[in-house]
Each structure stands twice: as structure tokens, then as C-alpha cells.
């Protein structure tokens, strides 16, 4: 999709770090926006971040885990904008917990939001994307954990691996319709996502360390957004964001278990250090 002017983009998770940064970038390119999020305050902050603009921006309070809610959201977008050219799925959460301490509710939360949320929006909006006669793009966010399993993130890795498979398969299916499809594999991005895991971790010390590390070495969210928008313009099937994602991807190709080994080793070393100083 070479020109974004006057296209309508639906961003689910538009109140969050990556969703908001993508919204600001797209508005600057003349793209109209339908921003959805469970958090109404966050949506209002996104509108504020976009600032004075000539494009139409609508906000929609939505729990993306609800199939009925997503269907009503689609109707609302079409009523207010008349069409949908681009769908970007940005809503997602992660839990930093061992598999053994994941409850069924934890699994339901991760799968319903990260996987079913994306499935619901794809199901509802695909017919609308098809109505544009190929002037359309679908973008789903996986993660670097889509190609490498990391300890203490079983539910996240399971859902992000599923998003990778789903999106690559859709790329193949939608090629004939001229609809571009991109799967995004970010490494650590400086947003509040990791901070939120402090409430959902069985090792708060470890989660805090990860949060501090992301704050220090994570990729800037505006850079991530610019890369995602460029991928839509250039119709890229797959992008990785951040050096960590690129390195993990390459290492995993050369030595498939190397990254998981490395992280497990670092965790064991840290645990031993903590046990010694306790």
C-alpha cells in the first residue's frame, strides 16, 4: 500500500505504547483512525498525543476478547468511517510466571486476549478489507518469542507462536486478493507492557530486573512504530524490530536451542547469586 492518505486504519490496543505510537505516525501521513482499547483513559491520551489533525479519529472502548463486542465495534467503524483499509492488532499482555504457577485463569487471559482477540478482529474485518479491492493491509504483532521459547513466559510464547503461524498462513491466503499481510516480531520495546507484569509474576524481583533492563536497552517505541508503518507501505510479509529480535532470530536459525539455553543459564546464575546473598 504505497499511499496512506485518506485510508482508514483500525488499531486495536490503540491506547497502548505501540498502538499509540503507530496512531501518531499514521495520522501524520493523512490516515484516518479508529482506535480501540479496553482502557478509555488511555484512548483519550492517544487522541491527545495525536494532537491537532485534519484526519478523522474515532475512539471505541472495546474488550477484544468478546466476539460480540468486536462485531459491534466493526459495525461502529463502518458507520463512522464507511470503510476499513488497514487492521493492526496491538492489544496484548504477558505474564512472567513459571508454567507450574500459571492458573487456568492465567491461560484463559493470555489465550483469549493475545490469540482470540486477534482472531475475532481478523474474522470481523477481513470482509471489509476485501471490499477495498486490494487497497488493504493486515498487521498482527507476534514477538521474538514467536520464534524462540523463553522460560517463565509459556503462555506468552504459546500465543505469540500461534500469531506467527496464523499470520503467515493468512499472508498466503490473502495474496490472491491483493491484501498485504505483515507479522511483526518486536524484541523488547520501551512501553508499559513489562511494567504491567509486575502484578502478574511469581518472581517480582526477576520481573523488576527485566523491566529495568527493557527501560535501559529496549527499542524506542517511535522507532518501532515507524518501522511498522514502513512495512505497510512496502508491503513486507515479516519484520523484526530491535537488535535483540534480529540476533535471537539468527541464533535460533544457526543453533535452534541456543537462546533458550543462554537465558536459562543467565537465570540460574542470577538465582545462585541471590541465594548466596540471602
Ligand X SMILES: NC(=O)c1ccc[n+]([C@@H]2O[C@H](COP(=O)([O-])OP(=O)(O)OC[C@H]3O[C@@H](n4cnc5c(N)ncnc54)[C@H](O)[C@@H]3O)[C@@H](O)[C@H]2O)c1
Q: Which residues bind ligand X (CB under 6 A)?
A: 13, 15-19, 37-39, 42, 62-65, 90-93, 113, 141, 143, 186, 188-189, 191-193, 196
Nearest to 224 by CA among 34, 20, 42, 41: 20
**Distance from chain centroid for Cα 90:** 4
CB-nearer residue toward ligand X: 174 or 239: 239
Closest approach, Cβ 156 to ligand X, in A, equals 7
Our CB check for ligand X shows the closer of 11 and 132 to be: 11
Smallest separation (angstroms) from ligand X to the CB of 277: 29
Distance, CA of 32 to CA of 151 (rounded, Å): 40
**Least gap, CB of 161 to ligand X (angstroms):** 12
CA distance 174 to 206: 42
Distance from C-alpha of 96 to C-alpha of 203, rounded to nearest angstrom? 8
Is the CB of 7 or the CB of 20 nearer to ligand X?
20
- 156 in active site: yes
Q: Which residue in the shown chain puts its C-beta closest to ligand X?
A: 16
Q: How far apart are CA 164 and CA 22, in angstroms?
A: 20
Pairing of strands 8-12, 32-37: parallel
Report DSSP letters for 155-172, one per residue. Answer: HHHHHHHHHHHHHHHHHH
Closest CB to ligand X among residues 13, 161? 13
Catalytic residue among 156, 180, 227, 248: 156
Q: How far is the CB of 119 from ligand X (least distance, A)?
A: 13
Residues carrying an active site annotation:
156
Amino acid at each position: 500500500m504505497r499511499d496512506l492518505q485518506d485510508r482508514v486504519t483500525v488499531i486495536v490496543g490503540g491506547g497502548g505504547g505501540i498502538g499509540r505510537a503507530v496512531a501518531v505516525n499514521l495520522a501524520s501521513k493523512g490516515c484516518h483512525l479508529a482506535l480501540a482499547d479496553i482502557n478509555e483513559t488511555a484512548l483519550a491520551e492517544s487522541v491527545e498525543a495525536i494532537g491537532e489533525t485534519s484526519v478523522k479519529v474515532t475512539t471505541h472502548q472495546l474488550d477484544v476478547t468478546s466476539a460480540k463486542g468486536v462485531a459491534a465495534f466493526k459495525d461502529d467503524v463502518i458507520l463512522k468511517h464507511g470503510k476499513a483499509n488497514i487492521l493492526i492488532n496491538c492489544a496484548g499482555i504477558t505474564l512472567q510466571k513459571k508454567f507450574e504457577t500459571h492458573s487456568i485463569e492465567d491461560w484463559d487471559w493470555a489465550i483469549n486476549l493475545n490469540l482470540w482477540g486477534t482472531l475475532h478482529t481478523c474474522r470481523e474485518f477481513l470482509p471489509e478489507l476485501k471490499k477495498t479491492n486490494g487497497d488493504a493491509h493486515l498487521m498482527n504483532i507476534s514477538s521474538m518469542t514467536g520464534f524462540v521459547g523463553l522460560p517463565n513466559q509459556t503462555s506468552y510464547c504459546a500465543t505469540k507462536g500461534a500469531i506467527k503461524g496464523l499470520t503467515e498462513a493468512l499472508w498466503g491466503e490473502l495474496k490472491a486478493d491483493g491484501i498485504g499481510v505483515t507479522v511483526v516480531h518486536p524484541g523488547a520495546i520501551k512501553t508499559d507492557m513489562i511494567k504491567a507484569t509486575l502484578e502478574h509474576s511469581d518472581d517480582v524481583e526477576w520481573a523488576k530486573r527485566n523491566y529495568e533492563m527493557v527501560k535501559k536497552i529496549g527499542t524506542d517505541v517511535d522507532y518501532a512504530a515507524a518501522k511498522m508503518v514502513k512495512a505497510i507501505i512496502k508491503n513486507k510479509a515479516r519484520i523484526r524490530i530491535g537488535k535483540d529480535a534480529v540476533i535471537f532470530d539468527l541464533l535460533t536459525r544457526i543453533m535452534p536451542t541456543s537462546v533458550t539455553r543462554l537465558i536459562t543459564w543467565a537465570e540460574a546464575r542470577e538465582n545462585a547469586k541471590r541465594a548466596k546473598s540471602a
